[in-house]
Amino acid sequence: MYKERYVTFADILGFADIVKKSAKDSTPKRQDALVNALIEAGSYHPGLNATDDIQFQTFSDSIVMSSASTMSGLLHILTSMADLSIRLLRLGLLIRGAIAKGSLHHDGFIMFGPAFLEAYCIERELARYPRIVLSREAHQDFKRIEGGLKFPQILFDDDGPPFLHVFANLAMLNEGEPTIDFLNSPDVLDAQMCQRSIQNLLDASIYDPGHYEKLRWLAIYWNGTVARGAGHALEPILLPITLQHKVTQRA
């Protein structure tokens, strides 16, 4: 019954608060946004390569995707989760998750196995920020892929775990010429929607230290990858001035 597979488990962050606020909102705008976000995730169909054996499902605030344990399957998982992260970010939603490799049964709506438990534990205990962390085995497999891949990409942060560079494609927009057509292209406009989403979420999080920490990490990640040297197209996120910033400026 078990097969060796790659599996990703991801949570939509702040989902419970979104649901509570939608119930109190007298206008249908928030409810519509929530429904559209769930439709966006639930109707996601990542590619048509049958040999990758992609399985995808959502339940409540959780997303699960798995693939065959091949290099093609791993790349499919990585590119699909990066794409889905951006699509949800445009709607103002963040996901945090993990990708693992191991024994798994995933057929339609039935899914269980040690690989899922590993991905679940990594998401709960290590991911911490809005990012998708790779397990040791998944990361080692990615490193064996030959050739210089522009996408997907894996990054590291100060705390160590390798994570999926979901902004890699957006960062490549910086290479375009700053013409009117380029600045008004769908890709740039979508990226600007992501920038506004992060800025709005960050600004709204300053009264909740736990939530602010996650949004501040995401803003620094954006500024260091997408907005770096991209003043003509993608603006940096504006961070509140902190005591640390003041000390740094004086030094």
pLDDT tens-digit series, residues 173-191:
766 566 666 666 777 888 8
pLDDT of residue 109: 79
pLDDT at 87 over 90: no
Choose one of 110, 140, 166: the last residue of a domain.
Answer: 166
Q: Note whether 99 and 6 are within 8 A (CB).
A: yes
C-alpha to C-alpha distance for 200 and 198, rounded to whole angstroms: 6
pLDDT at 218 over 80: yes
pLDDT of residue 13: 87
pLDDT of residue 45: 59
If asked whether residues 70 and 18 sit together in one domain, one would say yes
End-to-end CA distance of the chain: 61
Tell me the mean pLDDT in the region 218-245: 77
pLDDT of residue 248: 41
pLDDT of residue 28: 59
Q: Domain containing 242: what range?
A: 171-250
Q: Count of alpha carbons within 13 Å of 1, Cβ hemisphere only?
A: 8
Question: Which tokens hold the place of 93?
Answer: 């939603």
What is the SS3 assignment for 103? strand
Q: Tens digit of pLDDT for each residue in 48-81?
A: 566 888 888 888 788 899 999 999 899 989 988 9
When divided into structural domains, the chain yields a total of 2
pTM for this prediction: 0.86
If asked whether residues 12 and 119 sit together in one domain, one would say yes
C-alpha to C-alpha distance for 172 and 187, rounded to whole angstroms: 11
If asked whether residues 182 and 147 sit together in one domain, one would say no
C-alpha to C-alpha distance for 96 and 128, rounded to whole angstroms: 8
If asked whether residues 209 and 142 sit together in one domain, one would say no
pLDDT at 103 over 50: yes
Report which of 5, 147, 173 is spatially closest to residue 76, judged by C-alpha positions. 5
pLDDT of residue 100: 98
The residue written with tokens 């769908």 in the block is 186
If asked whether residues 159 and 61 sit together in one domain, one would say yes
pLDDT of residue 52: 84
If asked whether residues 77 and 199 sit together in one domain, one would say no
Secondary element (H or E) of residue 100: strand 95-107
More confident residue, 28 or 170: 170
Most confidently modeled range among 28-42, 92-106, 216-230, 235-249: 92-106
Choose one of 166, 199, 228: the last residue of a domain.
Answer: 166
C-alpha to C-alpha distance for 93 and 15, rounded to whole angstroms: 9
Report which of 50, 73, 54, 52 is spatially closest to residue 64, judged by C-alpha positions. 54
Tell me the mean pLDDT in the region 85-113: 91
pLDDT of residue 47: 58
Radius of gyration in angstroms for the set of CA atoms belonging to the chain, rounded to a whole number: 19
If asked whether residues 156 and 204 sit together in one domain, one would say no
What is the SS3 assignment for 74? helix
Q: If you average pLDDT over every residue of the chain, what do you get?
A: 83
Report which of 179, 104, 168 is spatially closest to residue 132, judged by C-alpha positions. 168
Helical segments of the chain, H only: 15-24, 28-42, 71-89, 114-122, 136-143, 168-172, 180-183, 186-204, 209-225, 243-250
Tell me the mean pLDDT in the region 204-214: 93
pLDDT at 229 over 60: no
pLDDT of residue 247: 42
pLDDT of residue 92: 86
If asked whether residues 85 and 111 sit together in one domain, one would say yes
Choose one of 166, 194, 225: the last residue of a domain.
Answer: 166
